[in-house]
């Protein structure tokens, strides 16, 4: 029986995009729910950062079984950076990992991110989006640092919601 | 005896002979209007965000007042509540306090300085208001269909009465400012229309219920405004003849006609007949709607009321309203966008200079700007909203500073630049290798859904080139040798874009140029991929789809029609769907073979698309001749698509500005 490859692939592709969009919207809907039931005066930014921290912590646990140290520190950082970029891509971003100037660092560059656009629909500040992204990735590293006994550090150097046009995250071994 | 404000005698003008019904007087209330022309109240976002009038708006209005040659000239609708729930546009004028009267008076004076009749409009934007505050007000708290509008609060009975009083107070301020005609806006989703519609009015008090009840707020406003205006200032109202809201159970046409009759009973001196709401799903004023399409609604309105009926809505040329008035189907010709595009439009009609009219192309860029809180601008009139700034208007160059100017390309950019430069005193030569001026607009106008109207742009430019003595050399290709031979002082490159096939395509035989396709010079297969998802690609895709081809549109832009303004783009999106055009945005073509192409999505997926032909509509800047001109040390400008492929508007605006700079 003939299969219309274009139809099959494009249907899956559109469904993927719809699902990615729904994931982000669901997060912001739940953020609104949390704010609605939170005590009066709750700072939305604090709530957003707490959510990022909890989500990141949980996602970090999923990464532990997928990482290994066999390729050494440089390979480990590239693998970890690739995993973080992969999470971004699953959400609908376009991210990748690049080696740094020294073996102890890699950079995660994201040129497209669905979070700021959706955040605007929910009147969320762009700074909250930037800080939440950074906090989530930092929280992912916490258990990984302990598990592999290597202090990891992640800093956001550039961010789309800050008007830089892309995100640049530096993942390095903490000194 | 009706009151006459300014004496006008049109008998010696050719336009009065050609269009006698447009230039004959009409009595509105106790006021005699010398002609049948009205510049209808149009938001322009030129005023301060506090509601105070600016000099820019005064000059904008003065130009339109000059254009109506003694007819009605309305300033934009004012909002009337200090809470600003009725404010629909950031630059909307306010009249909720006496402190606004001096500014309003400046507008009335500017209109009077052109011996035109000054109209004042009361406009609470209701459901589409609250642009600067968090929540809007209306008869009922019906949720918004469109997310861009604010959530609604139901007005209490006392708030409705307060709103009525605000209309009356604002009308009194308009009278004190010196306006001659008062108008209430009850259209497109503004507050009065919200009360009238069964879609948005679910009240059970005296302001709701059946159509009479829903008209109650309007009746009280008309009566209150009439009281403060007295017998000499006519009071009119703009009302929807059809809401086009059947899909949300809006008013049927008979209810709308009832609103006309109730308005007349309440004392309205005229009705401006409109249709559609901002949230209607049907197009009303875009280019895909034929000219004169809605005149039957004016005719029906006249069958229901005795007071004069006015109408705008796709009446861009004088012949249709003139004939409609003659047939007794219309009383006055209103204009909004046609006088945004050319403020002197009716004046040129009167003076027999119709070929000098810069016609609106019904793109709705003006609306798109307003809805995005930006000042008014016009797609094809570069001076719109710059009337106050003399730098935007051509000035003669000083004696001895005239230049010989070579313009390469007789498209809309080149022609615009040519007549402006020539008007300033330069000797201008326009060259084009084709035998006809118009550039790629000649092909663009072949796309369906009204694009033939785009040619009005170059028709105007050709007239102006002729008027100012531009030398046009058709069928002459400009080469480096010709530049060297002519050695002009200035060269303007308006050569249009270069068409760029997908990188993987090379020069395969199944790859054809969009211009050839639009012209119909080349045959394509039954399955077609159009490469490039901007307007040229959309136009070609729609043309081919309407011919029965199976069309896929592939392009690099994140959304198709990136270069089409949002107020028109939605039409194209619907037409693409209706015509079965499959669209891949944000994609590349990474392989072209005889039986199809491979599309690569931005996120890395590969999709095979079967096709017989690939139509290339993607464009890039044109670098030809740049080096030759620079090598000669000649002053050079690059404009239009040759600089950066964009749209007709950019071509016209580029051409105009460079025409001023040379």
Q: Give the gap in angstroms from C-alpha A146 to the nearest C-alpha of chain B.
A: 34
- CA B30 – CA B233 distance, rounded (Å): 7
State mean pLDDT over B44-73: 97
Q: Which of B602, B606, B609 sits opposite A94 (nearest CB)?
A: B602
- CA A127 – CA B266 distance, rounded (Å): 55
- pLDDT score of B594 more than 80: yes
pLDDT of residue B146: 85
State mean pLDDT over B212-239: 98
Task: Provide the β-strand partners of residue B33.
Answer: B26
B361 and B303, same structural domain? yes
Which residues does chain A have within 8 Å of residue B608's beta carbon, measured at their own beta carbons? Answer: 5-6, 9
Which residues does chain B have within 8 Å of residue A9's beta carbon, measured at their own beta carbons? Answer: 605-608
Q: Angle B648-661/B412-423 helices, nearest 10 degrees? A: 30
- CA B36 – CA B24 distance, rounded (Å): 7
B504 and B364, same structural domain? no
pLDDT, tens digit, 9 for 90 and up, residues A75-95: 999 999 999 999 999 999 999
* Alpha carbon of residue B416 to chain centroid: 19
Q: Could you tell me which residues come within 8 angstroms of residue B429 by beta carbon, excluding any fewer than 6 positions away?
A: B404, B405, B406, B407, B470, B471, B472, B473, B486, B488
Cβ atoms of B202 and B238 within 8 Å: the answer is no
DSSP category for residue B137? E
pLDDT band, very low/low/confident/very high, at B353 (cuts 50, 70, 90): very high
Q: What angle (nearest 5°) sits at the alpha carbon of residue B134, between those of residues B132 and B137?
A: 95
- pLDDT score of B505 more than 80: no
Q: Give the gap in angstroms from C-alpha B607 to the nearest C-alpha of chain A.
A: 6
Q: What CATH number does the domain containing B510 carry?
A: 3.50.50.60
Residues from B contacting A (CB-CB < 8 Å) are: 147, 582, 584, 601-603, 605-610
Q: Give the gap in angstroms from C-alpha B190 to the nearest C-alpha of chain A.
A: 24
**By the CB < 8 Å criterion, does A9 face chain B?**
yes
> Do B147 and A121 count as a contact with CB atoms less than 8 A apart?
yes
Average pLDDT over chain A, rounded to whole?
A: 94
3-state secondary structure of B127: helix
Percent of chain B with pLDDT over 90: 94
Give which of B585, B603, B605 to mutate to test A binding, by max A Cβ within 10 Å. Answer: B603
| Total domains present in chain B | 3
B365 and B426, same structural domain? no
Q: Which of B147, B605, B610 sits opposite A13 (nearest CB)?
A: B605
- pLDDT score of A68 more than 70: yes
- CA B609 – CA A10 distance, rounded (Å): 10
Q: Give the gap in angstroms from C-alpha B246 to the nearest C-alpha of chain A.
A: 28
Which residues does chain B have within 8 Å of residue A6's beta carbon, measured at their own beta carbons? Answer: 607-610
In angstroms, what is the C-alpha Rg of chain A? 18
Q: Give the gap in angstroms from C-alpha B82 to the nearest C-alpha of chain A.
A: 25
pLDDT, tens digit, 9 for 90 and up, residues B287-320: 999 999 999 999 999 999 999 999 999 999 999 9
pLDDT band, very low/low/confident/very high, at A174 (cuts 50, 70, 90): confident
pLDDT band, very low/low/confident/very high, at A54 (cuts 50, 70, 90): very high
Q: Give the gap in angstroms from C-alpha A3 to the nearest C-alpha of chain B.
A: 12
Cβ atoms of A135 and A49 within 8 Å: the answer is yes
Cβ atoms of B356 and B368 within 8 Å: the answer is no
Which residues does chain A have within 8 Å of residue B610's beta carbon, measured at their own beta carbons? Answer: 6
Q: Which of B601, B602, B607 sits opposite A6 (nearest CB)?
A: B607
pLDDT of residue A74: 87
The tokens of A152 are what? Answer: 């990891």
**ipTM for the assembly:** 0.84
Cβ atoms of A49 and A132 within 8 Å: the answer is yes
> Do A10 and B602 count as a contact with CB atoms less than 8 A apart?
no
Residue of A nearest to B603 (CA): A94
Which residues does chain B have within 8 Å of residue A92's beta carbon, measured at their own beta carbons? Answer: 603
Element containing residue B335 per DSSP (H, E): strand B332-335
Domain extents for chain A? 5-173
Beta strands B270-275; B596-601: pairing state: unpaired
> Do A89 and B582 count as a contact with CB atoms less than 8 A apart?
no
Q: How many A-B residue pairs are in contact by the CB < 8 A criterion?
A: 22
pLDDT, tens digit, 9 for 90 and up, residues B382-412: 999 999 999 999 999 999 999 999 999 999 9
> Do B609 and A112 count as a contact with CB atoms less than 8 A apart?
no
pLDDT of residue B1: 80
Which residues does chain A have within 8 Å of residue B602's beta carbon, measured at their own beta carbons? Answer: 94, 112
Q: Give the gap in angstroms from C-alpha B526 to the nearest C-alpha of chain A.
A: 17
Asked whether residue B390 is domain-assigned, the answer is: no
Q: What CATH number does the domain containing B32 carry?
A: 3.20.20.70
State mean pLDDT over B407-431: 98
Which residue range(s) make up the domain with B568?
Answer: 499-620
B324 and B201, same structural domain? yes
> Do B609 and A9 count as a contact with CB atoms less than 8 A apart?
no
The tokens of B309 are what? Answer: 């009926």
Residue of A nearest to B609 (CA): A6
Nearest to B489 by CA among B366, B595, B602, B407: B407
Residue B113, CA distances (Å) to B47, B72, B629 in order = 20, 13, 49
- CA B319 – CA B20 distance, rounded (Å): 10
pLDDT of residue B398: 96
Q: Is A166 exposed, middle or buried (0-12, 13-18, 19+ CB in 10 A)?
A: middle
- pLDDT score of B372 more than 90: no
- pLDDT score of B619 more than 90: yes
Q: Give the gap in angstroms from C-alpha A9 to the nearest C-alpha of chain B.
A: 6
- CA B222 – CA B186 distance, rounded (Å): 11
DSSP category for residue B142? P
> Do A9 and B147 count as a contact with CB atoms less than 8 A apart?
no
Cβ atoms of B599 and B584 within 8 Å: the answer is yes
Residues 75-104 of A with CB under 8 A from B: 89, 92, 94
Q: Give the gap in angstroms from C-alpha A10 to the nearest C-alpha of chain B.
A: 7
Which residues does chain B have within 8 Å of residue A121's beta carbon, measured at their own beta carbons? Answer: 147
> Do A6 and B609 count as a contact with CB atoms less than 8 A apart?
yes
B198 and B65, same structural domain? yes
Residue of A nearest to B147 (CA): A121
**By the CB < 8 Å criterion, does A123 face chain B?**
no
State mean pLDDT over B65-79: 98
Q: pTM for the complete prediction?
A: 0.91
> Do A6 and B608 count as a contact with CB atoms less than 8 A apart?
yes
Residue of A nearest to B600 (CA): A10
Residue of B nearest to A88 (CA): B603
State mean pLDDT over B560-583: 93
pLDDT of residue A175: 73
Residue of A nearest to B586 (CA): A112
Cβ atoms of A137 and A85 within 8 Å: the answer is no
Q: Which residue has the tokens 């086009």?
A: B244
Q: Give the gap in angstroms from C-alpha B375 to the nearest C-alpha of chain A.
A: 23
Q: Give the gap in angstroms from C-alpha B568 to the nearest C-alpha of chain A.
A: 22
B548 and B427, same structural domain? no
Q: What CATH number does the domain containing B469 carry?
A: 3.40.50.720
Q: Is B209 exposed, middle or buried (0-12, 13-18, 19+ CB in 10 A)?
A: middle
pLDDT, tens digit, 9 for 90 and up, residues B609-618: 999 999 999 9
B518 and B478, same structural domain? no
Q: State the Cα torsion B525-B526-B531-B534 to the nearest 10°.
A: 130
Nearest to B169 by CA among B216, B132, B217, B221: B221
> Do A9 and B582 count as a contact with CB atoms less than 8 A apart?
no
B554 and B416, same structural domain? no
Nearest to B34 by CA among B77, B2, B62, B81: B2
Nearest to B184 by CA among B159, B201, B163: B163
> Do B602 and A112 count as a contact with CB atoms less than 8 A apart?
yes
pLDDT, tens digit, 9 for 90 and up, residues B185-208: 999 999 999 999 999 999 999 999
**By the CB < 8 Å criterion, does A112 face chain B?**
yes
pLDDT, tens digit, 9 for 90 and up, residues A101-118: 988 899 999 999 999 999
Range A5-173 classified under CATH 2.60.120.10: no
B470 and B512, same structural domain? no
Q: Which of B582, B603, B607 sits opposite A94 (nearest CB)?
A: B603
Which residues does chain B have within 8 Å of residue A89's beta carbon, measured at their own beta carbons? Answer: 603
3-state secondary structure of B406: strand
Cβ atoms of B363 and B87 within 8 Å: the answer is no
- A72 phi, psi to nearest 5 deg: 85, 180
- pLDDT score of A14 more than 80: yes
The tokens of B618 are what? Answer: 């993607």
Task: Provide the β-strand partners of residue B492.
Answer: B407, B637
> Do B602 and A5 count as a contact with CB atoms less than 8 A apart?
no
pLDDT band, very low/low/confident/very high, at A1 (cuts 50, 70, 90): low
Q: Where are the beta strands (DSSP E) in B398-451?
A: 404-408, 427-432
Cβ atoms of B635 and B396 within 8 Å: the answer is no
């Amino acid at each position: 029986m003939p299969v219309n490859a274009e139809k099959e692939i494009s249907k899956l592709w559109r469904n993927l995009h719809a699902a990615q969009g729904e994931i982000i919207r669901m997060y912001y809907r739940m953020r609104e729910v949390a704010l609605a039931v939170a005590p009066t005066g709750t700072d939305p930014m604090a709530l957003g950062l707490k959510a990022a921290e909890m989500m990141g912590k949980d996602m970090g646990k999923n990464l532990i079984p997928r990482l290994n140290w066999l390729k050494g520190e440089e390979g480990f950082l590239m693998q970890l950076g690739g995993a973080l970029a992969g999470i971004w891509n699953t959400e609908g971003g376009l991210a990748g990992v690049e080696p740094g100037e020294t073996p102890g660092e890699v950079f995660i560059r994201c040129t497209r991110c669905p979070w700021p656009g959706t955040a605007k629909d929910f009147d969320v500040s762009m700074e909250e989006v930037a800080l939440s992204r950074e906090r989530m990735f930092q929280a992912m590293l916490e258990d990984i640092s302990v598990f592999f006994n290597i202090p990891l550090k992640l800093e956001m150097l550039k961010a789309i919601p800050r008007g830089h046009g892309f995100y640049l995250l530096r993942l390095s071994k903490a000194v | 005896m009706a009151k006459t404000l300014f004496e006008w005698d049109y008998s010696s003008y050719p336009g009065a002979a050609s269009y006698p019904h447009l230039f004959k007087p009409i009595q509105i209330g106790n006021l005699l209007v010398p002609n049948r022309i009205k510049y209808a109240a149009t938001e322009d976002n030129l005023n301060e965000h506090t509601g105070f009038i600016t000099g820019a708006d005064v000059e904008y209005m003065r130009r339109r007042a000059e254009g109506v040659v003694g007819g009605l000239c309305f300033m934009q609708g004012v909002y009337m509540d200090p809470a600003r729930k009725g404010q629909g546009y950031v630059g909307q004028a306010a009249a909720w306090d006496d402190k606004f009267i001096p500014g309003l008076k400046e507008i009335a004076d500017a209109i009077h300085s052109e011996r035109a009749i000054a109209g004042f409009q009361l406009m609470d934007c209701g459901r589409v208001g609250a642009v600067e505050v968090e929540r809007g007000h209306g008869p009922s708290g019906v949720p918004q269909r469109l997310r861009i509008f604010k959530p609604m609060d139901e007005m209490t009975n006392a708030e409705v009465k307060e709103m009525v009083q605000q209309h009356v107070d604002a009308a009194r301020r308009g009278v004190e400012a010196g306006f001659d005609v008062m108008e209430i806006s009850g259209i497109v989703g503004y507050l009065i229309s919200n009360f009238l519609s069964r879609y948005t009015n679910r009240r059970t008090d005296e302001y709701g219920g059946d159509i009479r009840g829903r008209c109650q707020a309007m009746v009280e406003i008309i009566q209150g405004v009439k009281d403060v205006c007295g017998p000499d200032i006519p009071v009119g109202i703009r009302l929807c003849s059809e809401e086009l809201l059947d899909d949300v159970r809006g008013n049927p046409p008979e209810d709308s006609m009832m609103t006309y009759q109730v308005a007349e009973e309440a004392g309205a001196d005229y009705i401006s007949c409109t249709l559609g709401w901002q949230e209607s799903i049907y197009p009303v004023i875009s280019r895909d709607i034929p000219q004169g399409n809605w005149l039957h609604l004016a005719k029906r309105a006249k069958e229901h009321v005795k007071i004069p009926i006015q109408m705008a809505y796709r009446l861009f040329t004088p012949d249709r309203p003139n004939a409609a008035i003659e047939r007794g189907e219309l009383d006055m010709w209103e204009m909004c966008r046609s006088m945004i595009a050319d403020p002197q439009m009716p004046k040129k009609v009167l003076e027999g200079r119709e070929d000098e009219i810069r016609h609106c192309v019904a793109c709705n860029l003006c609306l798109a700007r307003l809805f995005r809180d930006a000042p008014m601008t016009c797609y094809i009139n570069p001076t719109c909203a710059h009337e106050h700034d003399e730098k935007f208007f051509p000035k003669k160059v000083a004696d001895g500073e005239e230049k010989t100017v070579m313009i390469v390309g007789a498209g809309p950019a080149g022609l615009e630049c040519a007549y402006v430069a020539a008007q300033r005193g330069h000797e201008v030569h326009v060259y084009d290798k084709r035998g006809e001026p118009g550039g790629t607009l000649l092909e663009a106008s072949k796309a369906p859904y009204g694009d033939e109207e785009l040619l009005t742009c170059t028709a105007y430019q050709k007239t102006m080139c002729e008027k100012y003595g531009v030398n046009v050399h058709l069928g002459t290709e400009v080469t480096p040798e010709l530049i060297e031979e002519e050695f002009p002082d200035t060269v303007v490159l308006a050569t249009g874009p270069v068409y760029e096939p997908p990188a993987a395509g090379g020069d395969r035989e199944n790859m054809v140029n969009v211009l050839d396709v639009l012209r119909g010079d080349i045959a394509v297969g039954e399955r077609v991929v159009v490469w490039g998802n901007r307007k040229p690609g959309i136009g070609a895709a729609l043309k081919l789809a309407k011919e029965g081809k199976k069309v896929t549109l592939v392009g690099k832009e994140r959304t198709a029609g990136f270069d089409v303004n949002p107020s028109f783009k939605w039409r194209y999106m619907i037409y693409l769907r209706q015509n079965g055009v499959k669209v891949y945005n944000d994609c590349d073509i990474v392989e072209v073979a005889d039986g199809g192409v491979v599309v690569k999505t931005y996120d890395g997926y590969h999709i095979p698309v079967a096709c017989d032909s690939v139509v290339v509509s993607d464009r890039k800047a044109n670098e030809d001749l740049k080096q030759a001109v620079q090598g000669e040390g000649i002053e050079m400008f690059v404009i239009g698509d040759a600089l950066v492929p964009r749209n007709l508007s950019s071509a016209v605006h580029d051409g105009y500005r460079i025409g001023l700079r040379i």
